[in-house]
Amino acid sequence: MKKRQFLHAIAFAAATVAAGSAMAQSTPIKFQLDWRFEGPSALFLTPAAKGYFKDAKLDVTIDAGNGSGGAVTRVASGAYDMGFADLAALMEFHANNPDAPNKPIAVMMVYNDTPASVMALKKSGIKTPADLNGKKLGAPVFDAGRRAFPIFAKANNVSGVQWTAMDPPLRETMLARGDVDAITGFTFTSLLNLEARGVKSEDVVILPYPEFGVKLYGNAIIASPKILKDNPAAVKAFLAAFAKGAKDVIANPSAAIADVKARDGIINADLETRRLKLAIDTVINSANARAEGFGQVNGPRLSLMASQVSDAFNTKTRINPDVVWNASYLPSKAELNILPKK
């Protein structure tokens, strides 16, 4: 009897050691989103829910965010290993903090085009960028579209704009009430928020930045220099698992929303499905993305963006595009071939 108990003890100990070894081989990664758990966050929540990160021996924790600027600073602080942020916000951080020891680096492009646009109500008479001259625009001071508006204005000869600042939840409300003539924001966010406030989509004029001379990239996956140096294999594994999950999301957005609802049970599934589809159609599976390849950037376009952001954001130093982007961690071209043909 004692011999049997001894053998069981040995077997249990061996199993415990094996389990501990397996856990030790699983690399923890703390990931910071740019915004709340909404439709587009399925791009990250679906590969997590399907076990793609786990299969890659990664223990990924995904947290909701409150803006790209916050995502950049949290990765820079070391609180998070990786994150999702607007490339312009990352560029600004680099240029305004040249001596910072832990400046994050973009390693995969996800929104190949900026989602920013100017939105107005048709009854305002605004139809083109020229109609914005002298008008009152509203947006939070940190809004990506507002920060980049000088680039939009220069490309379209817009001048005399007066800005009204507000908290994000009030932006669409103030437009619907007529407190401002137009707003800036991500199309797939503000359009659906306007609908939620009783405004019909056909009554909204949308002036997307990419369609009016603004060649900015949008959101990218960023990583801290520490994880890039200490565990480059983990970063490569993360990006490969993400790409696999993103392909599933693009193929079936409706199913992917279930993974978002699992993280935030109060979301409106139909609304978030529409938001996700809008994001896919406008900035993920865009003509530029198909031309350049998912996850990748075009060198001259990146350099142009660096120069434009330096000017528009009035940064302390000029932005060096070579230090904000590193493509060496990207998966193979076959793994990045996830965009369906239009």
| Per-residue pLDDT tens listing for the chain (342 residues) | 455 555 555 555 444 444 444 445 899 999 999 999 999 999 999 999 999 999 999 999 999 999 899 999 999 999 999 999 999 999 999 999 999 999 999 999 999 999 999 999 999 999 999 999 999 999 999 899 999 999 999 999 999 999 999 999 999 999 999 999 999 999 999 999 999 999 999 999 999 999 999 999 999 999 999 999 999 999 999 999 999 999 999 999 999 999 999 999 999 999 999 999 999 999 999 999 999 999 999 999 999 999 999 999 999 999 999 999 999 999 999 999 999 986
Number of Cβ atoms within 10 Å of the Cβ of 60:
23
Which of 212, 238, 270 lies at the terminal end of a domain, its last residue? 212
Q: How many domains does the chain have?
A: 2
Q: Are residues 75 and 142 in the same domain?
A: no
- CA dihedral (79, 112, 151, 301) in degrees, to 10, reads 100
Residues 6+ apart with CB under 8 A from 5: none
Tell me, yes or no, whether 342 lies in a domain: no
Q: Are residues 163 and 101 in the same domain?
A: no
DSSP letter for each residue of 270-335 = HHHHHHHHHHIIIIIS-HHHHHH-TB---HHHHHHHHHHHHHHTT-SS---HHHHB--TT---HHH
Judge residue 129's burial from the number of C-beta atoms within 10 Å of its C-beta, 0-12 exposed, 13-18 middle, 19 or more buried: middle
Q: Are residues 108 and 120 in the same domain?
A: no
Give pLDDT, residue 333. 95
Give pLDDT, residue 24. 57
| CATH classification at residue 248 | 3.40.190.10
Which of 173, 188, 212 lies at the terminal end of a domain, its last residue? 212
Which of 178, 212, 246 lies at the terminal end of a domain, its last residue? 212
Give pLDDT, residue 4. 56
Q: Are residues 318 and 172 in the same domain?
A: no
Give pLDDT, residue 9. 52
Q: Are residues 184 and 323 in the same domain?
A: no
Give pLDDT, residue 117. 98
Q: Are residues 324 and 227 in the same domain?
A: yes
Give pLDDT, residue 20. 46
Tell me, yes or no, whether 273 lies in a domain: yes
Give pLDDT, residue 341. 82
Tell me, yes or no, whether 21 lies in a domain: no
Q: Are residues 304 and 159 in the same domain?
A: no
Tokens of 306: 């660096």
Q: Are residues 103 and 135 in the same domain?
A: no
Q: Are residues 166 and 274 in the same domain?
A: no
Give pLDDT, residue 41. 98
Judge residue 199's burial from the number of C-beta atoms within 10 Å of its C-beta, 0-12 exposed, 13-18 middle, 19 or more buried: middle
Where would I find the H helices in 26-111?
42-49, 52-55, 68-77, 87-96
Tell me, yes or no, whether 2 lies in a domain: no
Contact (CB, 8 A) for 119 and 205: yes
Q: Are residues 97 and 225 in the same domain?
A: yes
Q: Are residues 185 and 274 in the same domain?
A: no
Enclosing domain of residue 189: 116-212
